[in-house]
Amino acid sequence: MSTKLFVSFLSIAVFATNCTKAIIDENPETIPPITETIHYEPDVQAVMYNNCVTCHSGATPSAGLRLDNYTDTRYATENGNVIERMNNTTNPMPPNGVLPPLQRQVMDKWVLDGFLEK
């Protein structure tokens, strides 16, 4: 086998064995329930800023939906389908996949706790 062919084969083999696909546990019941009170700042705000505001902020947010502040996030959660889309496996938000269970649990607990801000 030529050296170039061997190096090419070895490179492909290393690349193929190092590729992984993140697997997100779709069942939030597999993690302990959140017992502390959840507030927008810093709990929910972190979820929004890490997953949503890239598209849902600024002068022309996607779908006209801003999620970069307390008022808009609360309104969209209470009156829209934010939680439903975060849990939707066929049409999730963010579009790259369902959020990890802990982040979804934070959102659910925020609703249960009454949408506390600070």
Structure confidence by residue, pLDDT tens digits, 9-65: 434 443 443 333 334 445 556 789 999 999 999 999 999 999 999 999 999 999 999
- For the chain, the 3-state helix, strand and coil shares in percent, each to the nearest 5, are 55, 0, 45
Q: For residue range 52-80, what is the model confidence (pLDDT) as tens digits?
A: 999 999 999 999 999 999 999 999 999 99
Task: Note if the pTM is more than 0.75.
Answer: no
> Tokens 């086998």 — which residue?
1
In this structure, what DSSP letter does residue 100 have?
P
As a whole number of angstroms, the distance between CA 67 and CA 48 comes to: 7
